[in-house]
Chain A
Amino acid sequence: MSATMQDSPRATLQTLPGDDVRQIMWRFAERYDIQMLLQSVREVARGPVARLVAEGGRNSHEWTEGKQALIKHFDEAGITTAAVGPEYGGIVSGPYNLLLSLISFELAWVDAGAATGSLAGFLAFAPINERGTPEQVAEYTQRTASDGKGGHLRGAFGLTEPLPYVGVETGTLAGKVRIVEWRDGQEPLLHVDKRGRFITNMDLANYVTVAVDSDDERIKGSCMIIVEETDPGTFDRGVPTKKLAHQLSSTRDPVISVKVPASRIIGGYTIENGVIVPNYSHGKIIEAVFKHTRVSVGLLTAAKLLSAIEPVIRYQRERFRGRPGIDPGTPRHDLGLQQREDVLHRLIDVWATGEAAASLGFAAARLFDVLDPLEKDKERALSEQGAKGGLSQVKALQGSEKRALEFLALRAQPESERDNARFQELESDTIVQYLITDAVGNVLCPACKLWNTGYGATMMREALSLMGGYGITEDCPGFLAQKWMDAQLEATYEGPEAVQRRQLSLSMTLDLFIEQYKQWILEMRRIAFERPGTGACSLASAMELWLYTLNHLRKSTDDFGKKLYNTPRQGVTFPLADALCWLLATRELISDVIELEIKGAENPALAEGLPGLVAFYTDLCHVQCARAAGEVGKVCAELVYGYNRHPSWDRDSCACYSAEELESLESIVPGITPVASGLVDVIGPDGAAPCKAGPCAHAEGLQTFQRLRAKLDGCLTGARLAKDRAAYALTEVMIPEVLDYPR
């Protein structure tokens, strides 16, 4: 292992990162088929989609001709069938999580509503794809590829219901299913009643995958069912939602009341004692679906943030041009607002957030591409062991957890010291590999959805505020104001922030995750040694502080003796979940920048600019590490200290000395009085408190926390110098003459 020293003088960013840079960072440089498909997506996004936005196409809740016309473009560009494999005439054979994420990113660069339409189609199909019977998967894939009439079958996903039913809490369904006819030896005929709220794609959906509960004692529990527009009964698309975001997608409140054969129950069913028992409850299917789809949503907001960089730089530079006396060659002409440090620093914050969000999202997508086949292999392995689902599966998995932890422990040891035979055995154990990957997936997915969209929306506001009044107009290049509003929807649909925090507050405490997290801390320390400029050391220290805080909160109580880390105590669990997201996103950014440094050197097209690119991105990492460290330090300190009662001026709660006490101690420890007075509160002989803001709180037993926090603060050394360098790069980087959309 060797440490690289910084070159001097440092190279700086020459051009904005182009496709070749992104392909390396997000790991699809070798996938020409994906690159090709993305070019065709880009043409649609920056052409017809951008033109429709510029023409005011978003200013209507109705499904207009202009919006409908986009669907044809999506079809022609291969977007509609992107998830259809080559065996059904599709173009790309996966990996689908990465592919769909990249498509969403590319569309959302211009308009996320356009992305939502296609994402909702994938979402509709996802329950079938994840848990459908082989026949259902084959039929609906085939019809998505071609509906036999020169078009494609389109779907909507129907979970959310009118108040007071399902929203964040997905348990309480008003949608119902009952049996209307069940002839001996024949398929039962079901009646499905579902009123939806905010259902995307309803204007064009040919089918809806709806979540319903049993309204019949001959059907057990809940399930998801496929209903089609041609099913007998009512398929009313409902009223359009008067939404203020993503207006290029269709959203309505449908009313569906149709008869369907029981074969439409997603995943099939068995009959036990005359009762239809669906193989999967709606909850199980939704869990499997949202595990994936939320990652692409997180990437919608990441795209927006990164898309804002170029228009903001251009605005800043051109701000004063054209005014008499501001001549080319003068700083006011050439740099404009970029003469001011604040606008540069703020834009760096936006950029760093966008990069970290994208890195986190694409890392999550790649992880699910590994996890999906593993999950199938795991199912196979379990059923071979006789564990066919339900409790027996849970038990079998619990049994494997120990082995998974053993594998992680072995992996952490040097090859020369560990039991390699055992390591290899566990490495090829499908269930073990599934468990460790799943443990990370269960954290990365909600983290990406939560942080990218929630904090992303905040930073999107920052981005458009850098454009002044222009930012909040429809004319703003890059549609920044629309993107700000859109980000808020991304933070809400497919489960708002609370849902993600809830999931994280459980998954981030599991041993299988924590053990991997500990290894990531060591990884960051190693990177800090090899590439100190990344700021990885501050990230490692922040990760350590977070872990200490989690452990501390899990065993601590508040002033009333109530447990702190506890599911209902969202005031504790949720902020800690938020803090973790900062760490994860920053870690992924560092990983992508290292990838760029290594693989970029193999690409001759990048040779000229690579040193500058890497130097800039290294500074951006450092900036982001410092921001993450600051956030984590703040959250952890508030949680660790905040649940101890603040002392008041009484002897019970305040760790004060009385003046007399000090006097008597003076005879034993001469000179204690002036020292103690500087450290603790001293109550006068008349019981008077010292004249100051309040009694001092004390931190019994928190010395480790204090030490870690102090260390973290020290690790911020150099972070602001990195920010200055990154800010300087913004004044030097070449940008195109104009934005490349609308085309």
Chain B
Amino acid sequence: MGFHIVVCAGIVPDPLQTLEPITGPQGPALKNEMMLPAVLDPWAKHALFEAAHLAAKTPDSKVWLVSMAPKTKLQQVMMSIAQKASFELVALDGPASGFTDSQAVAEALAAAINAISGLDRKRLLVFGGWESASRGAGATLQIVGERLGIVEQFQGVDELSVTASGSLRILERVEGGMHQISHCDGPPAVLGWATGSLPEPPNNPQVGMANMRTLMPALQKATAAGVAVDGKSFTSVEVPKQRRDTRIVKDASTDDIAREIMEWIKG
């Protein structure tokens, strides 16, 4: 029996863009965020590729992509993402900004998952990123799981394999570049992915056109998710600082350079 995999993925500004926090009418925001080109949240994107890969090698499986974002922005992102994996989109029209609350977003996502018709909870794997590139709280997916009553949760996942008996073998990232290996009897489970091990598939317009059949209707019928930001205040908002310490050293040997780098890494 195949899996029903629901991937939760938001969108974030393209990482090459300049991000400048500002105070907007509804609190903190990024300057020109709606105008900046967006991409699927990188960790969640890996989760999508892993989901598609798992579904492709497990007969009778299906992938849904549940995404909350301003729908016109989501539509632009889908023009590329929909070519990389087969899925059915469930779209929620709402903010994609990192300043929304994880709890509110998770509630909306869980409700959307609950409303998917034909979803078999016994076969359900909820995938997503272990954190998002916008908020980085690492909490959304856990709350989605809680709301759906799924207690088998794994975060920082880099590998998932299905054993002959149908149980799941999962590698989670732990300190020191190591992985923790867990076994889980089977679905339902929540997996927050780190980077996984799959390369980004090239765009395939044939796949895209096949997805298109459900994609555009889903976007059209996406309703406002009503994620409120009120009641919260932000004491300060800033982007990580860039540091540049340049020292000009002549005639250093490669060993010396390597040693210095090692010391710097060790701190």
Q: Which residues of B contact A736 (CB under 8 A)?
A: 14, 16-18
Contact status B32-A608, CB under 8 Å: yes
Contact status A608-B79, CB under 8 Å: no
11 A-B pairs with C-beta separation under 8 A: A14-B35, A15-B35, A36-B208, A37-B205, A43-B80, A77-B205, A603-B72, A606-B35, A609-B34, A734-B36, A738-B16
Question: Of the candidates A20, A76, A608, which one forms a contact with B202 in the assembled complex, judged by CB atoms under 8 Å apart?
Answer: A76
Q: Chain A binding site: helix, strand, loop or mixed by DSSP?
A: helix
With contact pairs A36-B208, A39-B79 given, residues A605 and B70 touching in the complex (Cβ less than 8 Å): yes
Residue of B nearest to A604 (CB): B72
Residue B197 at the chain A interface, CB threshold 8 Å: no
CA of A32 to CA of B214, assembled, Å: 13
Q: Which residues of A contact B20 (CB under 8 A)?
A: 734
With contact pairs A32-B79, A40-B205, A91-B206 given, residues A604 and B16 touching in the complex (Cβ less than 8 Å): no
Residue B6 at the chain A interface, CB threshold 8 Å: no
Residue B204 at the chain A interface, CB threshold 8 Å: yes
CA of A76 to CA of B83, assembled, Å: 11
CA of A79 to CA of B239, assembled, Å: 40
CA of A40 to CA of B73, assembled, Å: 18
As a 0/1 sequence over residues 195 to 219 of chain B, the CB contacts with chain A under 8 angstroms (1 = contact) are: 0000000111110110010011000
Residue A78 at the chain B interface, CB threshold 8 Å: yes
Contact status B205-A18, CB under 8 Å: no
CA of A14 to CA of B215, assembled, Å: 30
Could you tell me which residues of chain A, from 709 to 743, have a CB within 8 Å of some CB in chain B? 734-738, 740
Contact status B16-A734, CB under 8 Å: no
Residue of A nearest to B203 (CB): A40
Additional pairs, 7, CB under 8 Å, beyond known A33-B209, A40-B83: A18-B37, A35-B76, A36-B83, A38-B79, A606-B35, A607-B34, A737-B16
Contact status A734-B79, CB under 8 Å: no
Contact status A734-B32, CB under 8 Å: yes
Contact status A77-B202, CB under 8 Å: yes
CA of A402 to CA of B74, assembled, Å: 52
Q: Which residues of B contact A737 (CB under 8 A)?
A: 16-18
CA of A735 to CA of B20, assembled, Å: 12
B residues bordering A, Cβ < 8 Å?
14, 16-18, 20, 31-32, 34-37, 70, 72-73, 75-76, 79-80, 82-83, 202-206, 208-209, 212, 215-216
Contact status A20-B205, CB under 8 Å: no
Which interface residue of A39, A603, A606 has the most chain B CB atoms within 10 A?
A: A39
Residue A327 at the chain B interface, CB threshold 8 Å: no
Residue A19 at the chain B interface, CB threshold 8 Å: yes
Could you tell me which residues of chain A, from 240 to 273, have a CB within 8 Å of some CB in chain B? none
As a 0/1 sequence over residues 579 to 617 of chain A, the CB contacts with chain B under 8 angstroms (1 = contact) are: 000000000000000000000000111111100000000
CA of A609 to CA of B31, assembled, Å: 11
Contact status B82-A76, CB under 8 Å: no
Contact status A36-B205, CB under 8 Å: yes
Residue of B nearest to A743 (CB): B16
Question: Of the candidates A91, A604, A607, which one forms a contact with B209 in the assembled complex, judged by CB atoms under 8 Å apart?
Answer: A91
Contact status B17-A76, CB under 8 Å: no
Contact status B16-A740, CB under 8 Å: yes
Q: Which residues of A contact B202 (CB under 8 A)?
A: 40, 43, 73, 76-77
Could you tell me which residues of chain A, from 278 to 332, have a CB within 8 Å of some CB in chain B? none
Contact status A19-B17, CB under 8 Å: no
A residues bordering B, Cβ < 8 Å?
14-15, 18-20, 32-33, 35-40, 42-43, 73, 76-78, 91, 603-609, 734-738, 740
Q: Which residues of B contact A39 (CB under 8 A)?
A: 79-80, 83, 203
Contact status A40-B72, CB under 8 Å: no
CA of A732 to CA of B103, assembled, Å: 37
Q: Which residues of B contact A609 (CB under 8 A)?
A: 32, 34-35
Question: Of the candidates A20, A37, A607, which one forms a contact with B76 in the assembled complex, judged by CB atoms under 8 Å apart?
Answer: A20
Q: Which residues of B contact A607 (CB under 8 A)?
A: 34
Question: Of the candidates A32, A35, A43, A734, which one forms a contact with B18 in the assembled complex, judged by CB atoms under 8 Å apart?
Answer: A734
Shortest CB distance B86–A (Å): 14
CA of A737 to CA of B204, assembled, Å: 28
CA of A738 to CA of B14, assembled, Å: 11
Q: Which residues of B contact A19 (CB under 8 A)?
A: 37, 76, 79
Q: Which residues of B contact A14 (CB under 8 A)?
A: 31-32, 35
Shortest CB distance B223–A (Å): 14
Residue of A nearest to B212 (CB): A32
CA of A734 to CA of B19, assembled, Å: 9
Shortest CB distance A727–B (Å): 20
Residue of A nearest to B24 (CB): A608
CA of A36 to CA of B208, assembled, Å: 7
With contact pairs A35-B79, A605-B70 given, residues A40 and B32 touching in the complex (Cβ less than 8 Å): no
Closest CB pairs A-B (n = 3):
A40-B203, A605-B72, A78-B205
Q: Which residues of A contact B70 (CB under 8 A)?
A: 604-605
Shortest CB distance B89–A (Å): 13
Shortest CB distance A87–B (Å): 14
Q: Which residues of A contact B35 (CB under 8 A)?
A: 14-15, 18, 605-606, 608-609
CA of A42 to CA of B76, assembled, Å: 14
Shortest CB distance A578–B (Å): 37
Q: Which residues of B contact A734 (CB under 8 A)?
A: 17-18, 20, 31-32, 36
Q: Which residues of A contact B208 (CB under 8 A)?
A: 36, 40
CA of A688 to CA of B216, assembled, Å: 85
Residue of A nearest to B81 (CB): A39
Contact status A43-B73, CB under 8 Å: no
Contact status B212-A36, CB under 8 Å: yes
Residue of A nearest to B20 (CB): A734
Q: Which residues of A contact B34 (CB under 8 A)?
A: 604-609
Shortest CB distance A49–B (Å): 13
Q: Which residues of A contact B204 (CB under 8 A)?
A: 40, 76
Residue of B nearest to A15 (CB): B35
CA of A609 to CA of B36, assembled, Å: 10
Shortest CB distance B263–A (Å): 25
CA of A75 to CA of B117, assembled, Å: 37
Residue of B nearest to A35 (CB): B79
Shortest CB distance B237–A (Å): 17
CA of A42 to CA of B216, assembled, Å: 21
Contact status A91-B16, CB under 8 Å: no
Q: Which residues of A contact B79 (CB under 8 A)?
A: 19, 32, 35-36, 38-39
CA of A15 to CA of B31, assembled, Å: 10
Residue of B nearest to A41 (CB): B203
Residue of A nearest to B82 (CB): A36
Residue of B nearest to A613 (CB): B35
Q: Which residues of B contact A32 (CB under 8 A)?
A: 75, 79, 212, 215-216
Shortest CB distance B83–A (Å): 6
Contact status B14-A33, CB under 8 Å: no
CA of A567 to CA of B80, assembled, Å: 51
Q: Which residues of B contact A20 (CB under 8 A)?
A: 72, 76
CA of A608 to CA of B206, assembled, Å: 34
Q: Which residues of B contact A18 (CB under 8 A)?
A: 35-37
Q: Which residues of A contact B76 (CB under 8 A)?
A: 19-20, 35, 605
Q: Which residues of A contact B32 (CB under 8 A)?
A: 14-15, 608-609, 734
CA of A42 to CA of B205, assembled, Å: 12
Residue of B nearest to A42 (CB): B80
Shortest CB distance B130–A (Å): 25
Q: Which residues of A contact B75 (CB under 8 A)?
A: 32
CA of A737 to CA of B206, assembled, Å: 33
Shortest CB distance B46–A (Å): 17
Shortest CB distance B102–A (Å): 24
Q: Which residues of B contact A33 (CB under 8 A)?
A: 209, 212
Q: Which residues of B contact A738 (CB under 8 A)?
A: 16
Question: Of the candidates B36, B203, B212, which one forms a contact with A43 in the assembled complex, judged by CB atoms under 8 Å apart?
Answer: B203
Q: Which residues of A contact B36 (CB under 8 A)?
A: 15, 18, 734
Q: Which residues of B contact A603 (CB under 8 A)?
A: 72
CA of A139 to CA of B75, assembled, Å: 37
Question: Of the candidates A15, A91, A604, A740, which one forms a contact with B205 in the assembled complex, judged by CB atoms under 8 Å apart?
Answer: A91
Which interface residue of B31, B35, B79 has the most chain A CB atoms within 10 A?
A: B35
CA of A42 to CA of B14, assembled, Å: 15
Question: Of the candidates B14, B73, B80, B83, which one forms a contact with A605 in the assembled complex, judged by CB atoms under 8 Å apart?
Answer: B73
Shortest CB distance A562–B (Å): 58
